[in-house]
Amino acid sequence: MQTTTNNGAGGQNSNGGSYAASGSGSSNSGIIPSAIGPLPIELVDFTATLLDDKVKLTWSTLSEKNNDYFTVESSQDGLSFRKIASIDGAGNSHTRLNYEYYDHTAASGINYYRLQQTDFDGRYKYSPLLHVNKNDPFVEILFPNPIEKNDILTIICENDDRKECEFQLLTVTGKEIFNQRLFRTDSSGYKIDLGSLGIEKGVYYLKLKGPYLHSVKKLVVR
């Protein structure tokens, strides 16, 4: 996937911005070459995740040299992009740095994202493109929710013809409780026996993992 950008300003917080803190995602490493030559930055883990009505973008660098800032751009057609944020770079770094940005302005339908990395001398590069469908073709429902810790959780994906999906259950601190590909034979949904997991009461996050979209739903266990 790929990215675009314009001139930008400083970084923001997790309500709509980015910070050099821990993040994760599937690898889409590499900066797209341009006619102005290579830039001294190694970009990895550029991902987009749909979280209810907002999109979380995460990316990481393994090294940075003279990196001034990143510009986050979005588009609805993959051709015309607009700047939605500017995030300060680290300048020079030889360790892995992780960034994230929350897009609260994502439109209905498919949203495309890209990064523009700009050097202190004005040279720049674009990242691979990512896209997220805010109106995913199915509606994911967790039932019951809240749920008793020994009950069976049902995951219903309406208007979806897939017969298998990979699910991951995480604590609020990111600890993995469950990670498995589930199958279904009818429209009753996917089932997870919480009693067999021995989990405690609290708040968890169920992640549906797909090729371009990682949908995350909040689950309350009581």
pLDDT at 142 over 50: yes
**Statement: 139-221 belongs to CATH 2.160.10.10:** no
The count of other CB atoms within 10 Å of the CB of residue 94 is 10
Tell me the pLDDT tens digit for each residue of 64-123.
998 999 999 999 888 889 999 999 999 999 889 999 999 998 887 788 999 999 999 999
Tell me the pLDDT tens digit for each residue of 164-180.
788 999 998 889 999 99
**Structural domain boundaries of the chain?**
1-135, 139-221
Contact criterion met (CB below 8 Å) for 181 and 166: yes
CA angle, 31 then 125 then 14, to 5°: 85
What CA–CA distance (Å, rounded) separates 135 from 143?
Answer: 20
Three-state DSSP class for residue 81:
coil
Output 211 or 129, whichever has higher pLDDT.
129
Q: What is the CATH number of domain 1-135?
A: 2.60.40.10
Task: Give the CA distances from residue 53 to residues 19, 109, 173, 176, in Å, rounded to whole numbers and listed in that order.
Answer: 21, 12, 22, 24
Q: What is the mean pLDDT of the chain?
A: 77
pTM higher than the cut 0.85: no
